Amino acid sequence: MTRIKYFQELFQRYRRPGDLVFAIIFLLFALFLLSQLGEQTKWVKRTKWFGQPSLWPSIAVWGMVIFGAFHLLGSMVSPRIYGRLKEVLFWLRSLEYVLYFLAYVAIVPLAGYLPSTILFAVFIILRAGFRRPQHLALAALFATCIALIFRGFLQVKIPAGEIYQHLPDALRAFALTYL
């Protein structure tokens, strides 16, 4: 009994709710990579050990498995903290914003950088719970400034929107270069 207590004390550590879930997922991922090590890396003939393409993936994956196992062990022997499900749901809630972000990425080449950035900023602000007109105006202003500074002034590499092709001649060239 004393030994078990000593063992627990040895690996107990500070943690937050959800730590166990992350530790399990990480170890499972590491074990999956370990199972694929032979398949996904090559051991090349007539090459010394330090030149083998599989050397560093092996070191990394074995390190992930060993450290990950000890991390999980530490999580398992530490006192339970309540709020695990709530925490995991918090992580999952972030996926909603991932979706919005990817939709924004997909729209930019079609609608153009300036219009899609204004739309995106205003939408995110509305989704985040802001309703006052000055907040929406500030979001639109921020988006306009960002688009003009980065694409217009700094000429950062962002493709022009397909929609710009349909603009009147006088505006088209300007929009294709700066907006």
Partner 1 sequence: MDTLLSGFQILAQWDVFAALVIGSIGGVIIGALPGVGPAVAIAILLPATFAFEPIVGLTLLLGIYGSSMYGGAIPAILINTPGTPVNALTTYDGYPMTRRKEGHRALSLAYTASFFGGIFSVICLILLAPLLALIAPHFGSREIFLAAFMGILLVVVAHRGQTFAAGMLACFGIFLNTVGLEPVKYTKRFTFDQSWLSSGFDLIVVVLGLFALSQAFLLLVEKDHAPQDANVQGNMFAGVKELLGFKRIATISSSLGVLMGMIPGVGEFTAQFLSYTYAQKTSKNPDAFGNGSPEGLVASEAANNAVPGAAMIPLLALGIPGEALTAMMLSVFYVHNVIPGPQLFETQLDFVMALYLALILLNVIVLVFLLFSTNLLLKIIQIPTRFLGMMILTLSFIGVYSLRNSITDCAIAAGFGVLGLILKRLNLPIVPIILGMVLGGIMEVKLRAAMAAVKTPIDFISRPIAAIIFVMIIGIVVLHIRTLILEQKAKQNPEPLGPDYEHSSQQG
Q: Find the binding residues for partner 1 in span 118-147 (CB under 8 A).
A: 120-121, 124-125, 128-130, 135, 138-139, 142-143, 146
Going by C-alpha positions, the residue among 33, 14, 121 that lies closest to residue 74 is 14
- Identify the CA nearest to 113 among candidates 155, 53, 160: 160
Mark 78-117 with x for binding to partner 1 (rule: CB under 8 A) and - for no binding.
---------x--xx-xxx-xx--xx-xxx-xx-------x
User: Can you tell me the distance from the alpha carbon of 69 to that of 77, in angstroms, rounded to the nearest whole number?
Assistant: 12
Q: Determine the length of the chain.
A: 179
Site for partner 1 in 4-63 (CB under 8 A): 9-10, 13-16, 18-19, 22, 26, 30, 33, 36, 40-42, 44, 47-48, 50-51, 53-57, 59-63
Nearer to partner 1, 42 or 85 (CB): 42
Distance CA 151, CA 72 (A): 47
Picking from 107, 130, 132, 131, the residue whose alpha carbon sits closest to that of residue 118 is 107
- In the range 160-179, which residues lie near partner 1 by CB under 8 A? none
Output the smallest distance, CB 74 to partner 1, in A. Answer: 6
